[in-house]
Amino acid sequence: MRLVFMGLPGAGKGTQAKLLHEHFRIVHISTGDMIRERIRSGTPTGLKAEPYVACGDLVPDAIMVDMVIERLGEPDARAGFLLDGFPRTQAQAEALDRSLAAAGHTLDAVIVLDVPDDTVVDRLSGRRTCGNPNCQANYHVRTIPPKIEGKCDRCGSTLLQRDDDKPEAIRRRLQQYHRQTEEVAKYYGTRGVVSKVSGVGSVEMVHQRLREVLVNKGCSA
Ligand code: AMP
């Protein structure tokens, strides 16, 4: 299965994609995670991307497209993948189409995780992430607080607020989604591959909804 997972930042794509990976063993490719890893390691791509990510802007298409196409060529992704956070622009969607077509493939489904703006603002502004790169557990100051304030329950490291979860960056990320990424959802909509799934409710409820959709599309555990 070749799947694209779309939705506002904070819609829960990362959390749900991890659960779908565990259930269906499908390879989860998160462009946000890939970029953050390159920034942490100080690679040339990370250095170029850092200022965009820090203020909530999109990283230029050329950087993202090269990074994703290279990743999709790795052996584990050849049989299928769940792309989380890509494509976010029309140019990225077209580059993905070209790359898949060159290998004789197409997308099987595009899942849009649907959550209102107010909900994602609350989720993102309260999100705290474990600063240990090997852990990266997520918390929320109100809904998923750690047992000891500011410390990760799993590894004891300090919890941090991502720069792009600060108010001005959140505003920019939402604007970008509505301005550019919604166009991508419309583009896929014309091909009849889009399924809209409500991302409101508990993590388990949303997971069950997604599982049903993927099973209907032919995914098996
Ligand atoms: P995410 O964790 O998916 O919200 O991504 C975090 C940040 O990484 C975004 O705000 C962008 O700065 C950058 N990023 C991730 N995916 C893309 C993409 N497909 N195109 C451009 N920038 C991206």
CA distance 108 to 13: 18
User: Which of 59, 63, 69 for a ligand 1 pocket mutation test, highest count of atoms within 8 Å of Cβ?
Assistant: 59
Within 113-166, residue ranges assigned H as helices are 117-126
Give the E-state strand segments of 90-205 in sequence order.
109-114, 127-130, 138-140, 159-160, 194-198
Nearest atom (ligand 1) to Cα of 36: 8
Domain ranges of the chain: 2-114+194-216
pLDDT at 23: 94
- Tell me: the pLDDT tens digits for 75-92? 999 889 999 999 999 999
CB atoms within 10 A of CB 97: 17
Q: How far is CA 216 from CA 27, 31, 143, 179, 195, in A?
A: 19, 26, 32, 31, 11
Rounded-to-integer distance, Cα 55 and Cα 163, Å:
7
Residue predicted with more confidence, 219 or 44: 44
Residue 88 CA, ligand 1 centroid: distance in Å: 8
CB of 209 closer than 6 A to ligand 1? Answer: no
Rounded distance from Cα 85 to ligand 1 centre (Å): 6
- Output phi, psi for 205, to 5 deg: -65, -45
Alpha-carbon span 109 to 195, nearest angstrom: 7
pLDDT at position 41: 95
Contact in structure between 36 and 116 (CB atoms under 8 Å): no
pLDDT tens, residue by residue, 15-33? 999 999 999 999 999 999 9
**Reported CATH class of domain 2-114+194-216:** alpha beta
Is 178 a residue whose pLDDT tops 90?
yes
